[in-house]
A and B are shown apart, each in its own frame.
Chain A
């Protein structure tokens, strides 16, 4: 029941350039399209521009040049207030450091994901409980972050990101602070959400995660290295099912080789 506005792609970047301080060119003309229902890994080393790409897709920043369309909206044409509303209803974020409020129960942390959508507190809590069920934490509603393992905390953060059923879920190094078992737990949850129809984009420098995703977008020096395609025959790993690829990820001793440590 994703609330996609139109039948078009969820993410559509055309000729996007981003220049910081007038001379640091983080993105040098990027074209990227992510269709509804895809699970994409955006891979690249530090400094490759993938963080900037995340800011563009997440509407947290505007491009210097080019157009960014998210769920059909031209980000460049929207005011700050409109962008806020777009993020509230169409985007879910998962961060490397979880960003859970300390001393607040899992339920209320997740319910805060709906705070800016206009839902009343009762409704927010009810849907938060459902979202926690979806990430397998239905039995941890009243736990506070310090009472949860790292993997559980990140699953709470995932629940917060998807509690509003956004058409697009953005995860920034979601396993970066986790051991490989907890990381696999989180990837499991993301796979499940993807299977249920959510578009998921994972930003990572972990090649293990890249291998797990059906589609990989490589970022290098502010440009996209020719795409592995959407489950196309050139993808290399596309022959396997998502669960097979997850098994492969779990089998790695340290959660995957890092391009940059």
Chain B
């Protein structure tokens, strides 16, 4: 029997649109189950997005604060001498710093031994942790601070028993209005002003500030500054920092400490998110549980749809195409969960940010990572059921119920 050699049989490829359509058809048939198993993934993703979003929002707030306060403030404090005693900054230090060309503003405070009390009836031991400090008049300018009540010291009040309280100091003393008198070193001082918060100089918030001359007159202040604050142009901060100790104390530059208060804020911003790792891990566990849910749904789906698989095989589907169908279904299922999760997580982050008056930030990398994770989970969860489906014999479709 002679016969033409038949053409080679090559299965047709499924177009990507058809793969999606076939995968989605399986989901459409069981909406309730799909929603429930997608929910597992959604909860995991939402947790992770919310954790990242909330910590990013707090971090953004710190960075903005940093931006507002500036990073060009440097402080100079006395260090220790070679013999381990605390050093003293020269009386001329403020003037010298002012001569460094890029320095725009400089000011100083000096600690006194004096104690402040609300009235003379309060025992001397109860100081409330408030330091009484002498201050130069430029301090408020250098720190870019503001009086929340009353006024800052001026040439006149700086010579008289007048005092301006830091925000924390005022609160601890229970002083809410200017004009009241407080007891400092055996004498009444009039409160002329209360300062706003100073995030870059918390030590000032805890101080009672007296004019330089008044401190020397009434409080036995020796005139040596104990902290010098200066601001320079942004670009010159490093250069100024390099010469600062030498300028302040040409003879013993090693006895001078220079620091940048904004570094502390920057460090806090960097540390923000470190503790979120634990929560992120919890979200990850939820995500894995969700993935197990998807795998379970897919295994059941394959068991229930043996007939459909047999039918498709009889229609000419290859094993690979059956595998692809169930993989696509699993991917769509988890992608659905992922998208719901991203939306929920974003809402949660924005809600938290609005509630706490923070800038709302959901980093794109978190969204991308979340969607990537869902696709990975969809693949892993779908792989085994898809293999099982592909291994089914095509004859199952013909088996009578």
Contacts and interface: CB of A to CB of B under 8 A. Distances in A.
B197 interface: no
Interface string A99-138: 1011110000000110111101100000000000000000
Contacts, number: 124
B9 A60 contact: no
Interface residues of A, number: 45
Given A80-B318, A88-B316, A172 B398 contact: yes
B12 A99 contact: no
Interface stretch (A36-44, A70-78, A184-192, A193-201): A70-78
Contacts of B397: 93, 95, 99
B314 interface: yes
A5 B313 contact: no
A84 B316 contact: yes
Contacts of A118: 12-13
A83 B319 CA distance: 11
A85 B29 contact: no
Interface in A15-72: 51, 54-55, 58, 60-61, 71-72
A258 B277 CA distance: 71
B304 to A, nearest CB: 12
Interface string B320-341: 1100000000000000000000
B393 A102 contact: no
Contacts of A89: 9, 316
A179 interface: no
Contacts of A61: 393-395
A97 interface: yes
B318 to A, nearest CB: 4
A235 interface: no
A72 B9 CA distance: 12
Contacts of A120: 15
Contact of A72 (B6, B8, B11, B395): B6
Contacts of A72: 3-4, 6
A103 B28 CA distance: 9
Interface stretch (B17-25, B74-82, B161-169): B17-25
A194 to B, nearest CB: 20
Contacts of A54: 398
Contacts of B4: 5-7, 72
Interface string B129-155: 000000000000000000000000000
B375 interface: no
Interface in A79-98: 80-89, 91, 93, 95-97
B308 interface: yes
A6 B3 CA distance: 7
B6 A93 contact: no
20 contacts: A8-B1, A58-B398, A60-B314, A72-B3, A82-B8, A84-B313, A84-B316, A84-B318, A84-B319, A85-B10, A85-B318, A95-B397, A97-B401, A99-B308, A103-B28, A113-B315, A116-B12, A116-B312, A116-B315, A116-B317
Interface of B: 1, 3-4, 6-15, 17-18, 21-22, 25, 28-29, 307-308, 311-321, 393-395, 397-398, 400-401
Given A54-B398, A95-B398, 15 more contacts: A6-B3, A6-B4, A7-B4, A61-B395, A84-B313, A87-B315, A93-B311, A96-B400, A97-B307, A97-B401, A103-B29, A104-B25, A118-B12, A118-B13, A173-B400
